[in-house]
Structure formats: structure tokens, C-alpha cells
Structure 1
């Protein structure tokens, strides 16, 4: 029975582990075992990581650093942070939303546009609350929608206060404040709809 020769990749890893073992002979047995197993696990997981596999063992060894540096860090009381397993494989990125949205997204737009006429202020805010929970809009797009919705409500309140203080409050002033609130919600809804359709 013959033994298959070691591949070059295996030789690099085994040489590194042998050098690490030799450098760490003065460590306490528990610490030495922890260091060796952590480094071995790092190498194995780095080669098979589903997020970013690194097949070149020379590159993995380079990222680990010289064996003496790892041993020196272990002597100071802890295994180096950059080879600890929780930090080894980054969490997968959240799935990007695809398509042009569903019923929830179009309901949110409806509350911001048609809802602004029926329930000024309340409709657009309810629509923005729904939009904020949706992955179909980017954070900057949601922030713009909130700015337009809240900004128009604040402007309407300021105008109403001005008309009340100046003594010019009347049907025309009330209509003006109503148009400000409706306009802000309508513009926010149309903008959000446009961004949704671009997906």
C-alpha cells in the first residue's frame, strides 16, 4: 500500500503549523492547544468560507502573520483577535429587494397621495410608516419622503399660526394650509412611486 504524496498546498500549511508548534513550546499546554486549534480552524474555514473562500494557502498564511508574532500575542494572555472564528466569516449581506414592490408598497404610496386629500397629515404619515418598514426603498429615499411629509405639515402649522396671529384667518387661509399639507404628501408619494418603479 502506497501513500499519496502531499500536495504543495498541504506542505505550506503543515510547515506553518510545525513552525507554530515549535515556537510555542514554552506556552502552557492549554494555551498552546488553544492557539494551535484556533489557527488550524482558521485555515480550514478560510479555505471553505461560503462568503469569501481563499484557496491560496500562501495567502492564508500571510494573513495569519509570522508564527512568532502569534505566539508572542498568546504569551500576553490571549489569542490574537484577527484569527478568532466569530470574526472570520462576515455575515452574509441582507438580500437586496427585487421587483417593483407589492401591495404594501403601493398601499403606502396610496396613503401618501390619495390619503393626503382625505386625511391631510394623517394619511401621508401612515404611508411613510409603511414605507419605512419596506426593503424596496433605500434609507436616503425614505428620509426624503419623511422630510417632505413632516416638512409640509410643519409649514402648514406655521402658516396657520401666522394667519391666526395676524387676524387674517378665514376660508382662504384654511384652504392655503390644506394645500400645503396635501402638496407635501402628494409630492412625497409621487417621488416614492417613481423610485419604486425604477427598481
Structure 2
């Protein structure tokens, strides 16, 4: 059963920052936007794991989401995001473990309340985590993204074509929640396994 305990204040800060960055970058190409979100989530996870740095300080170091988005629009990823964070990630400590639990909780529970934002934030954290293999991460992305995309297309089609959109909207919502839920369930066993080493 999924852990439905409230998120810690520090995790909420990180999620709010990622959501604000997602909103600021809606005009970017999808690949570039995904790369930025993954890079930022990985940066936060590595700094928290390597030195136990507080998220407030990490977010200050990243700068406002609009500045980060503007730098990427100018064609350059800020260099501090490309550099190793403090040191290579050592064996996972409590901070990294917490991030992994937050990622899976966002997929399983968060998708119910924020169907697109929570799964995206969860998958960004999963991508930056050493706990799962690249194959597991790729499978989770497919499971989370494909039904969500189908749900969005279904919603758009219902609005444009149908006058009876209630049942279609419900079906679209279930697709956008179900995909991330299944992705989270596939990652759940990895929480009890040792993290993957590079």
C-alpha cells in the first residue's frame, strides 16, 4: 500500500520549484524541456545525497526558475548544473532514500491530485536516482507518459468533437492517473533493493 503521509516541507519546496520551472519552460522544445527538468532534479538529488544540503540553499543556488529558463532559451545550460555536485554520489543515505520514496509517492498518490505535474516531478526524481537501472527508468517513463498523453489527446478530442464530454473526461482522467500509478508500482520493489552503482 502506498504511503500517504504528508510530504515534508523540504520536499514541498523542491516540488514547488520544479512545478514553477515546468511552467516557465512551456515554450521550449519537449526534448530540451525534459532535459532541463531531469538535469535540475538530478542536481537537487545529488546535492542532497552528497552533502545533506538543505533544499532551501540548493534552490537559492539554482536561482529563480525564470532565470534558469531564460539561460536555456539562450542556448546554454548553466554550467553549475553540468558539474558534479560536491562529490560522486556515495552509497545512498537518508536524503537520497527519502527522495526515492517521494518520487514513487508522487507517481502513485500525487497523480490523483495533480495528474500531469506530480507524475512529471516524480519521474524527474526517478531519472536522477541511482536506485533504478536505465531500463527500469525507461519502462517507467513509457508507462507513465503514454497513458497521460492518450488522456490529454482524448480530452482535446472530446472538447472539439463531442457535446457529451463528461464520460470522456472521466476516462481521460483515469488514463492520466492510471499510467503513473502503474509506473509507480513497477518501481516500488526497487525501494527495498540496493541502489545501482555507476
**TM-score bin (small chain):** 0.3 to 0.5
Q: Which has the larger radius of gyration?
A: 1
Identify which of structures 1 and 2 has the higher relative contact order when contacts are C-alpha pairs closer than 8 Å and 6+ apart.
Answer: 2
